[in-house]
Amino acid sequence: MNPDKFLTVKQKTKGAASDQMNSTAGALPQGRNALIGLGSNINPESNLVKAKDLLAQWPGIHPMAFSRLYRTKAWGKTDQDDFLNAVIKLETRLEPLELLGALQQIENMLGRERLEKWGPRTIDLDILDYGGLVLQTDRLVLPHPLLHQRAFVLVPLLGVDPDWRHPISGLPARELLAGLPPEEMEPVEQPDLWD
Ligand code: AMP
């Protein structure tokens, strides 16, 4: 799969594979970079914006870049509404488990219910990568164990971090994406919503 096909004309003429980049002014001293995957298929526009805003206000978290929103077919359990997915690159002073705790609090604040595996969800927040750390505990696995298999993660990830490499295999995200079967995915044009 060629991620360039998901870029708008505007982005192509800018010549950058990266999505909306924010200023790094005010970045946290001694912060670590982390990549967060966001997904929702229940009022997805509203829930993704709320999650983004809560992340931006969270103490110790400084968002650096927001990917575009992508509409994607549900994965695993297909008889449900389409998802909107995005990736946020952030800098954080939080330790990995603290960051996971913050994401889970945000999920709870947005009313996430875990009714069934792969089922509809108000919001799903995953730590895709935390500074290249490789970790395997009961609560947290880093990098996220499924990220290299999912186009709906890799495409927005490339938008915020085009040079990212998988911490275990060392393979660039672009190469990982090229190995995946094509999937139905379309960028969502909602600049006012996400900006
Ligand atoms: P999910 O239902 O996909 O949101 O999975 C949530 C569970 O995955 C939680 O119990 C987390 O403790 C666990 N988990 C393990 N690794 C991660 C990760 N990298 N990001 C988010 N949740 C994780």
| Full DSSP string of 47-100 | HHHHHHHHHHHSTTEEEEEEPPEEEE--SSS-SSPPEEEEEEEEEESS-HHHHH
Pocket of ligand 1 contains residue 146 by CB under 6 Å: no
CATH architecture of 3-15+31-187: 2-Layer Sandwich (3.30)
User: Taking the complete model, does pTM exceed 0.75, yes or no?
Assistant: yes
Q: Ranked by mean pLDDT, which of 117-131, 140-154, 175-189 comes out on top?
A: 140-154
Residue 11: Cβ within 10 Å count: 18
Between residues 34 and 26, which one has the greater pLDDT?
34
pLDDT of residue 3: 42
For a mutational test of ligand 1's pocket, the pick from 140, 147, 166, i.e. the residue with the most ligand atoms closer than 8 A to its C-beta, is 140
The per-residue pLDDT of the chain, averaged, comes to 83
Pocket of ligand 1 contains residue 129 by CB under 6 Å: no
**DSSP bridge partners of 93:** none
Q: Is the pLDDT of residue 38 over 70?
A: yes
Catalytic residue among 121, 129, 161, 174: 121
Collapsed DSSP state (helix, strand, coil) of residue 43 = coil
Tell me the mean pLDDT in the region 169-183: 88
Rounded distance, CA 94 to CA 156, Å?
Answer: 23
Q: Is the pLDDT of residue 180 over 60?
A: yes
Give Cα separations from 67 to 6, 51, 113, 191 (angstroms).
12, 14, 25, 11
